[in-house]
Amino acid sequence: MEWSLRSAEELAIALHAGEVTSTELTDEAIARIERDDKAINAICVPDFDRARAAAREADAARARGEDRPLLGIPVTVKESYNIAGLPTTWGLPQFADYVPAEDALPVARLKAAGAVVLGKTNVPPMLGDLQSANEIYGVTNNPWDPTRTPGGSSGGSAAALAAGFGALSIGSDIGGSLRNPAHFCGVYAHKPTLGLVANRGHVPPPTPALPFDRDLAVVGPMARTARDLALLLDVMAGADPLTLGVAFDLALPPARHERLGDFRVLVLEDHPLMPTGSAVRDAIHRVSDALTDAGARVEWHSPLLPDPVDAAVLYMELLLSTLAAGFPEAAYEQMRVHAATFAPDDRSLDAARMRGAVFSQRDWIAATSRRELHRQGWRELFAQFDVVVAPITPTPAFPHDPNPDMGSRRIDIDGVEYPFGDQLVWAGTATMPGLPATAVPAGRSPEGLPVGVQLIGPMFEDRTPLRLAELLEERIGGFVAPE
């Protein structure tokens, strides 16, 4: 029996029943990687010797009567997480030999839960692309079509899951980097509420692994089923024991509903600044039809929705404020000069990006005050709705684009080209206010590529979109292995 495409939940049941050992699961996963990953290039840093040792220890622990949530289950980890003894490069050649001395906190939590780490998955440089390729490890291909990207920046993790290289993976998200690859590869991912999962040790080299909350950025789970997402989130979630964890214990509220027909759902199909392609539009309708057929209350418009144009502009400002903080002084000076060329009343996304890149502390405080107004708007909306269904990006996976200048790239949406970076407006819908969002498979494009949607939930009510994801999986299906 082949186990590599089974869910973590199924593997846990089989391990508990003695139907298989962790050693057998790990050997099978390694054999599959060695056979298939040459064409995909998802696992950029294998750690097979230590994985086999961890599997043997997991089997011994189970023989002693131990049982932990992930005991003996093979997993992968995004390259950007520190793992003691393995390189952490963030795709930067100058740090090809950088090896941290300790695990990132999310990795330590995986290991404490009994997971067997097979290795690390590929990323773009500084996690700054919707593709996953770098000079050190090369290009990662989409398992559904090797001429296309698996997405980024957690593209290696999504490709690994789709190919059966481990049952679970962990990634990160500031511009859709969990949701976009899940959508492109036909798997599940969850962007947690901002601050729900401590991210210590998910830092670019050679930054010290100290407690640090980067604005907008989260780390989170990826899986092949919605139930596995919830399982992995429970393992990862919680405050850093060096900071808030000293005083606070986590107690997430339960999902608002258990039945599909009880959900109140707002569906967003269009954005004023970016069209939705036909394949994604079909997926949105597939989900809305399933909800309607089950008796859920589904609406397509609401005056409670915070202004999406102002939200997108604010997201771009805050995003570039965070990203540009680490740019070299010369690059910052160029952006400062460029930002001055935009009129003060220019509300374009280009102007927002340049303004945000050179925000003063005064500017940033004003922007965060605007963000709080948006958050209050979402609170009012979620008093009337439980979940918002929206696109993740406008299209299925696009062909590899080696152009390093993202500012000059274009994305083809039903035969019309648009600025590449503007597609992030859908990622920012949940990211800017810090809301949880679950990426779920929702069918195939006419070309046979996976298409997903995101389920956006109320702040710190992560179990609500996760439960809806599980119910939709039962209703319309979920992960299907690439043909």
Three-class HEC string of 344-390: CCCCCHHHHHHHHHCCCHHHHHHHHHHHHHHHHHHHHHCCCCCEEEE
| Active-site pick, 22, 80, 132, 153 | 153
End-to-end distance of the chain based on CA atoms, in angstroms? Answer: 19
- Separation of alpha carbons 409 and 420, rounded Å: 5
| Active-site pick, 4, 7, 22, 78 | 78
- Separation of alpha carbons 259 and 261, rounded Å: 5
- Separation of alpha carbons 267 and 63, rounded Å: 49
Task: Provide the phi-psi class of 360: left if phi over 0, else alpha when psi is between -120 and 50, else beta.
Answer: beta
Cα dist from 461 to 150, 191, 196, 373, 406, whole Å: 29, 12, 10, 19, 35
3 state SS of 266: strand
153 is a catalytic site residue = yes
Q: Cβ of 53: how many Cβ atoms within 10 Å?
A: 14
Length of the chain: 483
288 is a catalytic site residue = no
Q: Cβ of 345: how many Cβ atoms within 10 Å?
A: 6
22 is a catalytic site residue = no
- Separation of alpha carbons 80 and 399, rounded Å: 24
Catalytic residues: 78, 153, 177
